[in-house]
Amino acid sequence: MNHASKSACGATRNRCSAELGFFGSALPHELVRDFGTPLYVYNESVLRERCRELKGLSEDPGFRVCYSTKANGNPHLLRIIREEGLIADAMSPGELALLKRAGFRKEEICYVCNNVDAAELALANAQADHVSVDSVSQVESFGRVNPGGRVMARVNPGIGAGHSSKVITAGKKTKFGIPPEDFGALRAALDAYGLKLIGLNQHVGSLFMDPKPYLDAARWLLKTAASFPGLEIIDFGGGFGVPYRKYDMEKRLDLAEFGLRFGALISAFRAKQGFSGIFIIEPGRYIAAECSILLGTVTAVKNNGGVRYVGTDLGFNVLARPMIYDSFHDLEVYPGNDKPRALTLQTVVGNICETGDVLARDRQIPELVEGDIVGVLDAGAYGQAMSSNYNQRLRPAEALIRPDGSCSLIRRRDTIEDLLAVYPE
């Protein structure tokens, strides 16, 4: 569909998302009229394509792509991901409930948790195919809950990667994983409770565009796995990055090359160790990020200290990533009128009572005025999933564009009644 002109979208790459058909049969303004803003809009075809790309990484019959539900747990999206043949990981009872709602069966769910209590371990053990714990102390807790049971252990390969120190989850400066120096204690804890170690997993961190650290850590994991005979599952974790700077022509992760190198590692391991189990990767962002554009409305414009501030309803309660990690998201502009717009340096902010409530700083984009619609690209992973009711604002609605171009609501916006419902009278 080509509803919006190039200049209208303010695109500096070839074409903006509206022109590329992202919004199906609708214009951004029509979606906003029907559903209001803030609104996360998802495109089913893009979601399916990302699932297929990762499934195509290896032809090994025991290769599984396990979607990491924490990136986006909307059950309507989870249902599509399941239809594409992915399994899923959960890390909380809430995620388990959403996966069940979406139709995932026990044998399609991995539980990868951190610092949880006995009741949660028991629940996970009952509802997931396998549970991975990530300290000797949690192995002992699991053993008390389920003596003689089957368990996986998350190990720390000492190699981390990620877009921010806050999401690097291996190496010295992290709470995650069992380090090699604790492997003796791990074996002792397994023995003490008669547990069978069925698998090892790791997760080096979130967002790599250079596959080297992931592959180095994968090599380490396979070497480690060889010293734990009888494993059935080896899970390498997620972290597959997407290009957030599309308008700067940022390159995609080279999956073809990754697949070749990864494939060589796992087939060599099968051959050498006689391993007949399964290999898992655990991507969240790669599957969910690019299938969503977050729409918001410009509500006010002003100058302060020489900066043009564009006020919107996209506070960090709606999209927290820029505030928490200084993350960059490309913006598109869908103007409310036909007036020509000059490219202008602007800082786009939200409606939350903190100075750090900045969505995009110093962006050269078409001059925004009240009533314009702003689109935030690549918002599907850790967007809605990290939204909150801070300032007692309402978490946003979500809509899905189907492959036939139609659109439907897949999560309603919170209501004031939702906010009040948790307080006893």
Can you give the binding site for ligand LLP, defined by CB under 6 A? 68, 70-71, 112, 167, 169, 203, 206-207, 237-240, 282-286, 321, 325, 381-382
Q: Which is nearer to ligand LLP, 329 or 341 (CB)?
A: 329
CB of residue 197 to ligand LLP, shortest distance in Å: 18
Q: Which is nearer to ligand LLP, 64 or 321 (CB)?
A: 321
The total number of residues written for the chain in this structure: 425
Q: Which is nearer to ligand LLP, 92 or 297 (CB)?
A: 92
Distance CA 142, CA 193 (A): 9
Q: Which is nearer to ligand LLP, 14 or 389 (CB)?
A: 389
CB atoms within 10 A of CB 148: 9
Write down the catalytic residue from 66, 113, 291, 353.
353
Query: Nearest Cα to 393, choosing from 316, 329, 323, 320?
Result: 316
Q: How many CA atoms lie within 13 A of 154 on its CB side?
A: 26
CB of residue 324 to ligand LLP, shortest distance in Å: 7
Told to judge if 291 belongs to the known catalytic residues of this protein, a careful annotator would answer no
CB of residue 15 to ligand LLP, shortest distance in Å: 27
Q: Which is nearer to ligand LLP, 207 or 222 (CB)?
A: 207
**What's the token pair of residue 158?**
């000492």
> How far does CA 5 lie from the centroid of its chain?
31
CB of residue 245 to ligand LLP, shortest distance in Å: 15
CB of residue 320 to ligand LLP, shortest distance in Å: 8
CB of residue 281 to ligand LLP, shortest distance in Å: 9
Q: Which is nearer to ligand LLP, 17 or 169 (CB)?
A: 169
CB atoms within 10 A of CB 344: 13
Cα torsion 385, 3, 36, 344 to 10°: value is 80
Q: Which is nearer to ligand LLP, 9 or 71 (CB)?
A: 71
Q: Which is nearer to ligand LLP, 37 or 72 (CB)?
A: 72
Query: Nearest Cα to 95, choosing from 117, 78, 73?
Result: 73
Q: Name the amino acid, one letter, at 55.
A: K
Phi, psi of 80 (to 5 degrees): -65, -40
CB of residue 162 to ligand LLP, shortest distance in Å: 8
CB of residue 178 to ligand LLP, shortest distance in Å: 13
Catalytic annotation, residues: 353
